């Protein structure tokens, strides 16, 4: 039965002498509120009041939420007063949720003060509603303020909200605060887990440009805490973290991380090895690149044209043409077709 039919049926019933009860009016008001028909809900409420009935707490909360969602928070307060209802934490929380939907964040924050002035203490639901609303609208500065208010009061953000916050601050490249959120999670009694650690490491090391020293230090600290917690990196993050370490000249550490993740069940792919080999070659550490390449094959990882070309080009530049030619023969024998860069590297080497 649609909303229009609901009102029509009520009208017909009244024609037959039916007298709507308080429950009937409350149900009908809620029907129109869910349909975003505020004007009709007001008409039903007026008839309800004329019949000597009041809205129950749930209906009043829905009405106040709908009004606040439409930016009509003053009307919501007036409605509550007309109903002679003393606002409680649940009702204020509904109104704050509506204000957040309307992006009226200043007003939503002011309602916290209004609550306290009326001896209503915001609870964990109130804060999480406000925090989630600000997070959805990317009001991250306000999110910081809310977190600083709620945690000292013993109200903790939900685990999923923490995950979303870490992701949001990583996207903003506020890595320092994202890392602080990780610490706050632990203090609030949560175990960050696989998702949070990988979101943070992915944010720290997943950009095309290499991170600066401070960001890399955060990544290393996060990794160490992650290992202590028994969590592993996903395949993409292992490759990116190793790439960032190599970019900072920390080749041994990059290699150790790959091996450490392998001991926990991680199977590196060609891309992971190739990224590290590329950085080793760029740093003129061709001997280490050679060792890692042999390890790669011994672990059953098949090199692709990118891997072979990196090595061939680097060994040609280092004057190790004989080894470069052996790799060329090997790749052809294994069915890996050379590309233009591969041929160009060998041609330039033989022309010197």
User: What pLDDT is recorded for position 16?
Assistant: 45
E strand map for the chain: none
Angle of helix 38-50 versus helix 57-69 axis, rounded to 10: 150
pLDDT at 29: 86
Q: Could you read off the pLDDT of 175-218 as tens digits, one per residue?
A: 999 999 999 999 999 999 999 999 999 999 988 888 899 999 99
- Spell out the domain ranges in the chain: 303-352
Output the six-digit token pair for 150: 């709620």
Report residue 20's pLDDT band, with 50, 70 and 90 as the boundaries: confident
Give the whole-angstrom CA distance, residue 134 versus residue 242: 35
Number of Cβ within a 10 Å radius of residue 8: 12
Residue 112 and residue 120 in contact, taking contact as beta carbons nearer than 8 Å: no
Between CA 257 and CA 254 the distance in angstroms is 5
Closest to 194 measured CA to CA, from 158, 227, 220: 227
In sequence order, the 6+-apart residues with CB closer than 8 A to the CB of 348 are 316
The Cβ-side half-sphere exposure at 339, using a 13 Å CA radius, reads 9
Whether 241 contacts 233, CB under 8 Å: yes
Q: What is the pLDDT of residues 268-291, one digit of tens each?
A: 788 888 888 888 888 888 888 888
Kindly report the number of other CB atoms within 10 A of residue 329's CB atom: 9
- Residue-wise pLDDT for 211-264, tens only, equals 899 999 999 999 999 989 988 888 888 888 988 998 898 988 888 888 888 887
Q: Taking a C-beta distance cutoff of 8 angstroms, is the pair 251, 280 a contact?
A: yes
- Give the pLDDT confidence of 126-144 residue by residue, as tens digits: 999 999 999 999 999 999 9
| CB 293 within 8 Å of CB 277 | yes
pLDDT of residue 13: 47
Whether the predicted pLDDT of 327 surpasses 70: yes
| CA-based radius of gyration for the chain | 32
Average pLDDT, the chain: 87
């Amino acid at each position: 039965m649609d909303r229009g039919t609901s009102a029509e049926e009520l009208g017909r019933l009244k024609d037959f002498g039916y007298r709507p009860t308080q429950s009937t009016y409350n149900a009908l008001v809620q029907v129109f509120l869910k349909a975003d028909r505020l004007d009709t809900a007001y008409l039903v409420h007026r008839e309800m009041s004329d019949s000597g009935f009041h809205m129950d707490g749930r209906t009043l909360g829905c009405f106040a939420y709908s009004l606040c969602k439409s930016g009509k928070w003053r009307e919501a307060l007036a409605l509550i007063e007309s109903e002679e209802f003393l606002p409680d934490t649940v009702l204020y929380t509904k109104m704050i949720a509506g204000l957040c939907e309307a992006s009226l964040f200043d007003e939503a924050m002011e309602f916290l003060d209004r609550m306290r002035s009326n001896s209503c203490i915001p609870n964990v639901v109130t804060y999480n509603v406000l925090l989630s609303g600000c997070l959805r609208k990317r009001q991250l500065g306000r999110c910081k303020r809310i977190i600083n208010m709620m945690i000292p009061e013993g109200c903790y953000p939900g685990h999923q909200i923490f995950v979303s916050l870490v992701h949001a601050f990583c996207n903003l490249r506020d890595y320092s605060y994202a890392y602080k959120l990780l610490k706050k999670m632990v203090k609030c009694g949560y175990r960050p887990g696989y998702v949070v650690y990988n979101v943070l490491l992915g944010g720290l090391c997943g950009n095309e440009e290499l991170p600066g020293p401070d960001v890399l230090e955060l990544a290393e600290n996060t990794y160490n805490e992650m290992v202590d917690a028994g969590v592993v990196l996903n395949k993409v993050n292992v490759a990116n973290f190793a790439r960032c370490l190599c970019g900072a000249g920390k080749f041994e550490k990059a290699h150790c991380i790959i091996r450490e993740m392998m001991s926990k069940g991680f199977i590196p792919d060609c891309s992971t090895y190739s990224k590290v080999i590329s950085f080793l070659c760029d740093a003129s550490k061709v001997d280490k690149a050679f060792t890692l390449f042999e390890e790669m094959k011994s672990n059953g990882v098949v090199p692709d044209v990118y891997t072979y070309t990196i090595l061939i080009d680097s060994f040609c530049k280092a004057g190790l043409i004989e080894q470069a030619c052996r790799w060329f023969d090997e790749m052809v024998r294994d069915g890996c077709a050379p590309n233009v860069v591969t041929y160009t590297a060998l041609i330039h080497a033989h022309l010197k």
